[in-house]
Structures are given as structure tokens and as C-alpha cells.
Amino acid sequence: MRYETPGDIRTVFLQPSRFRARISNRPFRVLSSPVPAQNSSRSLRLLSCSFVGGLILIVSSPLIGAPKIAQTLGKPGVWGQLESYPAVLEPPSSLLLEPEYLTPEFGWTFPKGWTEEQILKFFEESGVSSEEAAALLLRGSILNSEDSTFFVPPVEQVRNFTPETRRTLYGSLGQWPTNSFEATPFALGARRVSEIAALAPHSFPPELITMADNLVYQDDSTFLRFSDYSLICQQLPDSDSRIDFAKLLLRTPTLIVRVHLAPHLGQQSLRQYWSSNGMNSTALPILDSYIDSIKDDESPAPLDLVYLLPPVPKKLLFTFSPIDLGVAGSYPDCFWTALNFFLTEPNQRYFDPVLKSVVNSDWRQVPPPYQFGDLIILHQPDGVEARHACNYIADDIVFTKNGRSTYFPWVLQRLDEVRAQYGAANENQMKVFRHRKNFAPEDQSNPR
């Protein structure tokens, strides 16, 4: 079946006998086939939904030979019960139609007029051994232009750099913005290229993925980074395949989530949880209507989670940062996202580094169990400096944006996966806060 509908895909979910997509305001296209019954042994196909703002790859099940992927039913609670499916988001090609992605030059840029001696000294001061530095100069080429000096290193020697050499050398090369992938490398989080490639099917040979894996290095924060995009592009035949490889590196895993709201759970407890004591009152009309409509149904259909989100995350989920959200060249990051969770319209003040002052004035630290909308802050190993922020949804699923770049979408992920991505496994690295308005009236004077 083929769907062509004006709208913006917010979430896509699967049912045993059909494919359904909820839409709102941008054109998208879904190419799919009927889905076999839930208990069928047949392999389901990958469903690719392209839309203005990105590509969502819904891994409803594997291709032949891959491990079977099925829906996950979470534990029941005051929120109901969550049903989730893994999916992958890729940025749209339109975001990558720049020369640095289409026709990247292999090499490094130095200031105008730099001599061989200056480049050699730079290499040695940037963690390259004297022997390696001399070999780079012997086998490389120096090209002088009116505004810079460009050095083309020997490919094989760059491929054989140790991760530590990449970290120190690329960190130094990144001081010049013209070395774009050294200045702003691909942020892989805790996954290597092969792990990102395994999230969904792709057309690249295993040898290329292995080569890319060998070029990964850790930055000073222990996050995995990839800077040798131009080297890999030498193995790719055309601009389309280069864009596809960039999109692979920029993949973001997410979850498609539905909520089972059985009446026996209690309408009042469901209302209280999803409305956050009035902070998310926009969820109440559809929640009440839905519960009323299923009171006599022993096995009601689940509700798409997006209907229960506040206005800002409802609008942003599964999208990439639009141009009109940018301020002075900056785009929303995790802190902007988390602080705007309960608002009707985004507060652009949260572009500024105001996290500490806002948390101190409007949020209060709480122990488990956590509630809808709670602010989760992940810290550096010292437990002091904030590294990431996201919002708790239910059953350890969070709403998050993992980076400031327009290449990183707003997604739903499991809390333990986010903690792993940001290296925050220790308990002292995670603190959870609840908005002061989200306490019951009797707790307002002395909340937990």
C-alpha cells in the first residue's frame, strides 16, 4: 500500500493486521506492506517513512537472518502500561547538501604561509611521535593558496593512527574551523559505527563499516567521535552514497510508544499522572473521552502517547530543529528542551545557560518513584557539572534531544540507554527534579 498525505509524522505504530500513522502538518510518504499477525513466524519488513524533517525507519522486525525484534510491553503502573517498538531516525538529505558532505577534501588546513618545519612542529606538539610526524611530511603534500596552507597526508598512515593519536591530533586541528570534521566531529555517543549501522538496514559493505569502526576515537569526555568522513568518502562512488553514509553516522534510535489505559486502573489516578496536577491539562479532554469510550470494552485499543504530551514536546517529537527555532545561530539543546517541557510555547530564555538558576527557583529534587515531566539531569563523573537533561515520561522512558545540532531530533528513549550514552552510570551522576507546581496542594509547603 502507498500513502501520500499532507501532514507531519509524529508517531507511527503497528497493529497486528494493519499499519497506521498519525499525522499533522507536513507532507510525508509511507511505503509499506501489510503486517503479519503478532504471533506470526514470518519476518516483517522494515517500514521506511520519509517526511519533511527526516526519515524514520521503523524496525518492526528484521530482515532475513537478523535477530527478531518485537514489541515490548512495560510494567503496569499508575500511568497504565506502555507498549513500545524500536525505530531509527535519520536527518533529511536537505540538511546535508553542503560541499563538506557532498565533495569533502581529504586533508587538513593550516594558517597561510605555514612551512614544512611549522607543520612538523605542530604534529609533534599534537601527540604525533617524531617518527610518525616525519613520515607524514615525507609522504604527504603541501599545497599553498592565497588564504591557507593545505596538507594532504598519506591515506594509509591516517588509517593506521591509534585512537589516542586521533584524539590529540584532531583536537588540535579542530582549533581552525576550516577543519570542519575535526572541529565538529560526528558524535557517536556510546555506539561504534558498526553498532549504529546495525540499528537498521543499509547498503554499505561490511568492509567499509569495519574501516570506519577503526577510525573511531574517544574525546576528553570519553564520548566516541568520528572525524575521518573525507577518508571514507574516497571509497564511495558518488554524492548520494556519501550523503547516505553521513545519514548513517547521524542515526538516532527512538521508540514508538502507545499507552494501554484500562479502566480498572482508575480514571482519577490516570488523570492525575498524565495531567501532572494541572501542568499538562491539555491531555485531559482526550484522556477523559478515551477512558469514557472504553469502559465497556474488556480489551481497548491503546492510545498513541503523543496525544498525552504537553504542547511543546507534542509539536517537536520525531522532528529536527526548524530554522525558526534558532536564535543567533544557536539551536535547541537538551537543557532548552527539558525546561520547556510543560510550556505552551517555547521560552527562548532557555537558550542561555540558566539551568542552575531555573532549577533552584522552580524545581525541587525528588526521590523515586518519578512522575511524568520530572526533570532528569545527568552530571559529569564529579557529580557537579551538568552533562545532559531530559524529561521522564513513564516506566523509565524519557523525552530527550541528544545534542544542540539540527541533525539531532527529539525522541523517546529508555533512561538506561541515555545514561549509557552520556557516561552517567553512577548514581551520583543522576539527579531528578519535580516542578514546584507539580506537587499535591498538601505538599506545596514542604514537598519531598
As given in the structure block, the three cell numbers for residue 124 are 609533534
The pLDDT of residue 10 is 34
Q: Which regions in the chain score pLDDT beneath 70?
A: 1-70, 263-265, 295-299, 324, 326-329, 351-352, 440-448
Q: Which residue has the cell 509524529?
A: 10
The pLDDT of residue 343 is 92
Beta carbons within 8 Å of 244's beta carbon, 6+ residues apart: 202, 203, 204
Does residue 295 fall inside a structural domain?
Answer: no
Is the C-alpha dihedral spanning 371, 375, 379, 383 positive or negative? negative
Residue pair 56/340 in contact (Cβ under 8 Å)? The answer is no
User: How far is residue 347 CA from its own chain's centroid?
Assistant: 22
The pLDDT of residue 442 is 53
Beta carbons within 8 Å of 136's beta carbon, 6+ residues apart: 123, 128, 153, 154, 157
As given in the structure block, the three cell numbers for residue 419 are 545514561
- What does pLDDT average to over the chain? 82
As given in the structure block, the three cell numbers for residue 385 are 557539572
φ and ψ of 203, to 5 deg: -105, 10
Note the residue count of the chain. 448
- Neighbour-count burial of 317, counting CB atoms closer than 10 A to its CB (0-12 exposed, 13-18 middle, 19+ buried): buried
The pLDDT of residue 282 is 93
**CA 360/CA 339 separation, integer angstroms:** 12
Does residue 365 fall inside a structural domain?
Answer: no
As given in the structure block, the three cell numbers for residue 43 are 519476518
The full 3-state SS of the chain, as one line of letters, equals CEEEECCCCCEEEEECCEEEEECCCCCEEEECCCCCCCCCCCCCCCEEEEECCEEEEECCCCCCCCCCCCCEECCCECCEEEEEEEEEEECCHHHHCCHHHHCCCCCEEEECCCCHHHHHHHHHHCCCCHHHHHHHHHHCEEEECCCEEEEECCHHHHHCCCHHHHHHHHHHHCCCCCCHHHHCCEEEECCCHHHHHCCCCCCCCHHHHHHHHCCCEECCCCCEEECCHHHHHCCCCCHHHHHHHHHHHCCEEEEEEEEECCHHHCHHHHHHHHHCCCCCHHHHHHHHHHHHHCCCCCCCCCEEHHHHCCHHHHHHECCCCCHHHCECCECCCHHHHHHCCCCCCCCHHHHCCCHHHHHHHHEEECCCCCCCCCEEEEECCCCCCEEEEEEEEECCEEEEECCCCCCCCEEEEEHHHHHHHCCCCCHHHEEEEEEHHHCCHHHCCCCC
Does residue 233 fall inside a structural domain?
Answer: yes
Task: Name beta bridge partners: 29.
Answer: 4, 50
φ and ψ of 228, to 5 deg: -90, 45
As given in the structure block, the three cell numbers for residue 135 are 613520515
Q: What is the spatial order of strands in the sheet that 108-111 belongs to?
A: 108-111, 148-152, 141-144
Does residue 344 fall inside a structural domain?
Answer: no
The pLDDT of residue 30 is 29
The pLDDT of residue 381 is 84
> Tell me: the pLDDT tens digits for 318-366?
999 877 676 666 788 999 999 999 999 988 777 667 778 888 889 999 9
Residue pair 46/59 in contact (Cβ under 8 Å)? The answer is yes
Q: What is the largest CA-CA distance in the chain?
A: 82
Report strand pairing: 54-58 vs 47-51.
antiparallel
As given in the structure block, the three cell numbers for residue 347 are 521560552
The pTM for the full model equals: 0.81
**Closest to 230 in 3D by CA, of 181, 264, 189, 292:** 181
Distances (CA, A) of 360 to 319, 353, 354: 30, 13, 10
End-to-end alpha-carbon separation of the chain, Å?
Answer: 52
Residue pair 72/46 in contact (Cβ under 8 Å)? The answer is no
Residue pair 116/431 in contact (Cβ under 8 Å)? The answer is no
The pLDDT of residue 335 is 92
Count of structural domains within the chain: 1
Question: Which residue range is the domain that position 157 belongs to?
Answer: 99-238
